[in-house]
Amino acid sequence: MSKIAIIGNGISGVTAARFIRKNSMHEVVLISEESEYFFSRTALMYVYMGHMRWKDIQPYERGFWKKNKIDLIQARAESIQFDKKCIQLNNGSTVNYDYLILATGSKSNKYGWPGQDLSGVRGLYHKQDLEYLERCSPGIRRAVIVGGGLIGIELAEMFQSRNIPVSFLVREPQFWSMILPEEESKMINRHILEHGIDLRLNSQLKEINGNEAGNVHSVTLDSGEEIKCDYVGLTAGVSPNIKFIESSEIETDRGILVDEYLRTNIPDVFAIGDCAQLRKPRKGRRDIEAVWYTGRMMGECVAQTICGKQQIYDPGIWFNSAKFFDIEYQVYGQVPSKMTDDLESFYWAHENGKKSIRIVYEKTQQTVVGFNLMGIRFRHEVCEQWILRKSALDKVLEEIRLAFFDPEFYEDCSAELLEIYRQKSGKKIEATAGWRLDEANLFLNKNNQKT
C-alpha cells in the first residue's frame, strides 16, 4: 500500500482520487487551499446568477470523502522536496508521499497592462475570484470585460443578470474568431448585442486607470476612448498555475512537461489537468488543453497507471461544448476557424439566426472530419463514429438524423438541410435513418463489431 498525495482538488485531482480508490486501497490525500470540498468550477457563474447555491455546485456530499477514505487537507503547498518525497504546507506541516500527482490547474492571464493590479480588476477562475466579485457588485455601475473568450461571455451574462451594464472588449474583428468559423462567430456577435451588451469588436485595452484610493475608475482603449467603470474583468485566457515549483528541478515550459503516461521528469511524480503540458501531443491536438473532460480523462488515466495498469493518455477525438447566453454550442472533431486548403465545409443556418450546422470534410476524399453545431444538439457517439470510420459526406447526410439529440417535438431541420445540399451538390440523396434511440444504437453496435 502506498501513499498518494494529490495537489489540487479540481476535476483532475478528484477524478484521480476517485479512480485510485476504485482500483486500490492506497492511502489518498487531496491538498487544496481554494476550497474545503470539490466544486464544479464551470458552475461558478450560476452561483452568482442565483441559479444555484454553493452547495449545489458540489457534486459529492460531505460524507462521500470520509466514506471513500480520501483525506482532505485545506492548505497551500508551498514547496516540494522531491528527493525526500515531502511537501511543505503553508500551515507549517508537511506531507510525505510515495506518489505525487500535481493537479494545480490554471490562473488568469495578465499581459502587463498598466493598472492591472488595481482593486476592482480581476479574472474569474477561483472560488475567491467569485467571492471578490460578489463583494464588489453592489458598487458596480458599469463593468468592462477584457478578452473575447468563453469566460468573458460568461462574465457578461453574470453582470447582465444583476442589471449591471457591460462593455465587452474583443481584440479580434469577431467574437472568439480564433476558434469559431466566421458565420458562427457573427451569430454570437448578434446574440451578445441582443442581450444589451455594449460589444466592442477590434478594441484593445491600453490602460486601466485608478483613483487615489487604488480603485479602478476607467479604462482607456487603443483608440484613445475612455470608458468609466467600477470593475474590470480580465478574461484573456488562462495559463498553468505552476509558479511554486518553477524554480525546482521539475521540468517546465508553459506548464509541467509530461510524457504519454503523464509522468514528469521526476520519478513517481505526475502532472494532470490544466497545469500539465504534453511533450508530444496527439496529432491535431494542443499540448495544453484546459477543458473539463480532458482533466477528467487525465485523472482516470493516471489512476490506472499508479494502480499498476499502465495506461497511455489518449484523449480520443476532440469535442467541446459551451453556451453563449442562450445559444448552445457543440463541436466534434476538426473544425478550423478558417478552412485550410484541403478542407471544405457544408453550412446550413436556420432562418431565425440562432441555429446552424456545419459539417467539415476533406476535399479530395469527401470524408467528414468535424461538426460544428449552434443551437442544435448532436449525439456525441454517432458523430465520433462517423469521424472514426471516415464516412463520406453524402453518407453522413443520409444518416444525419441518427445524430439528432434535441428534445422531442423539436423542429426537424433534416429536410431543409438535405434540400440545400441537393441544390448545392446536384446529388440526389435521401434521408435513410431516423432519430430514435434504437436506430442510433443499432448504428453504433454495428460499427463496434467491425472495429
Partner 1 sequence: MSTFGIKILQKGRNKMWSVVIGFSGFLMLVAATYDLLPVGLFILVISLTLISFGIILYAYEAYRDVPEGIKNNHNFFNSLSSRGWLGWLTGMVLTGFYILLYWFPEYLGQGDKSNTGLVAFFDPLSQLLKKQNASQWFVYGVLYTLAILIMGVKFIWKYRHSKYQLIRTLSVIFFQLAFAFLIPEFMLRLNMPYNDFKNMWPLNYYFFDGWHLQEMMQNGNIGWLMLIWGVLMIVVVSPVLTYFFGKRWYCSWVCGCGGLAETAGDPFRHLSDKSIAAWKVERYLIYSVLVFSVVMTAGVLYSFYSGRPSIAGIDTASLRSIYGFLIGSAFSGVIGVGFYPLLGSRVWCRFGCPMAAILGIQQKFFSRFRITTNGGQCISCGNCSTYCEMGIDVRAYAQKGQDIVRASCVGCGVCSAVCPRGVLRLENGSIDIFDRAKKVRN
Name the nearest CA neighbour of 199 among 165, 232, 233. 165
* For partner 1, the closer CB: 310 or 448: 448
The interface region with partner 1, picked from 108-116, 177-185, 291-299, 391-399 by CB under 8 A, is 291-299
Residue 300 C-beta: closest distance to partner 1, Å:
7
CA 396 centroid distance within chain: 28
**Three cell numbers, residue 34:** 481554494
Name every residue whose Cβ is closer than 8 Å to that of residue 412 and which is 6 or more positions away in sequence. 401, 404, 435
Taking the C-alpha atoms of residue 321 and residue 60, their distance in angstroms, rounded to an integer, is: 23
CA 445 centroid distance within chain: 30
In this chain, which of 300, 302, 305, 348 binds partner 1, going by CB under 8 A? 300
In this chain, which of 5, 11, 77, 124 binds partner 1, going by CB under 8 A? 11
Residue 296 C-beta: closest distance to partner 1, Å:
7
In this chain, which of 65, 270, 319, 443 binds partner 1, going by CB under 8 A? 319
212 φ, ψ (degrees, to nearest 5): -65, -30
195 binds partner 1 (CB under 8 A): yes
Taking the C-alpha atoms of residue 150 and residue 136, their distance in angstroms, rounded to an integer, is: 22
* For partner 1, the closer CB: 161 or 248: 161
Amino acid identity, position 205: L
407 binds partner 1 (CB under 8 A): yes
410 binds partner 1 (CB under 8 A): yes
342 binds partner 1 (CB under 8 A): no
The interface region with partner 1, picked from 77-85, 97-105, 405-413, 424-432 by CB under 8 A, is 405-413
Number of chain residues interacting with partner 1 (CB under 8 A): 55
In this chain, which of 86, 201, 429, 444 binds partner 1, going by CB under 8 A? 444
Task: Give the CA dihedral 293, 295, 301, 305, nearest 10 degrees.
Answer: -170
CA 96 centroid distance within chain: 32
Evaluated on CA atoms 328, 333, 339, 344, the torsion sign reads: negative
Name every residue whose Cβ is closer than 8 Å to that of residue 13 and which is 6 or more positions away in sequence. 6, 7, 30, 32, 101, 103, 272, 273, 299
309 binds partner 1 (CB under 8 A): no
Amino acid identity, position 246: E
Give the other-Cβ count within 10 Å of 87's Cβ: 23
296 φ, ψ (degrees, to nearest 5): -65, -45
Output the CA–CA distances (angstroms, integers) from residue 391 to 35, 71, 203, 340, in the order listed: 46, 48, 42, 20
Taking the C-alpha atoms of residue 161 and residue 164, their distance in angstroms, rounded to an integer, is: 8
* For partner 1, the closer CB: 86 or 164: 164
326 binds partner 1 (CB under 8 A): yes
* For partner 1, the closer CB: 85 or 379: 379
The contact mask relative to partner 1 for 45-84 (x = CB under 8 A, - = no) is -x--xxxxx--xxxx-x-x---------------------
* For partner 1, the closer CB: 244 or 325: 325
Give the three-class secondary structure for 22.
Answer: helix
353 binds partner 1 (CB under 8 A): no
298 binds partner 1 (CB under 8 A): no
Output the CA–CA distances (angstroms, integers) from residue 288 to 240, 275, 277, in the order listed: 9, 8, 5
323 binds partner 1 (CB under 8 A): yes
| Helices within 49-110 (DSSP H only) | 63-67
- Cell numbers 447555491: residue: 53
165 binds partner 1 (CB under 8 A): yes
Residue 424 C-beta: closest distance to partner 1, Å:
27
The interface region with partner 1, picked from 101-109, 224-232, 320-328, 414-422 by CB under 8 A, is 320-328
Output the CA–CA distances (angstroms, integers) from residue 157 to 45, 192, 287, 334, in the order listed: 8, 9, 30, 28
328 binds partner 1 (CB under 8 A): yes
In this chain, which of 379, 391, 396, 413 binds partner 1, going by CB under 8 A? 379
In this chain, which of 21, 26, 85, 191 binds partner 1, going by CB under 8 A? 191
Residues at the contact surface with partner 1, assessed by CB under 8 A: 11, 19, 40, 42-43, 46, 49-53, 56-59, 61, 63, 161, 163, 165, 191, 194-196, 292-293, 296-297, 300, 319, 321-323, 325-326, 328, 330, 377, 379-381, 384, 405-411, 436-438, 441, 444, 448
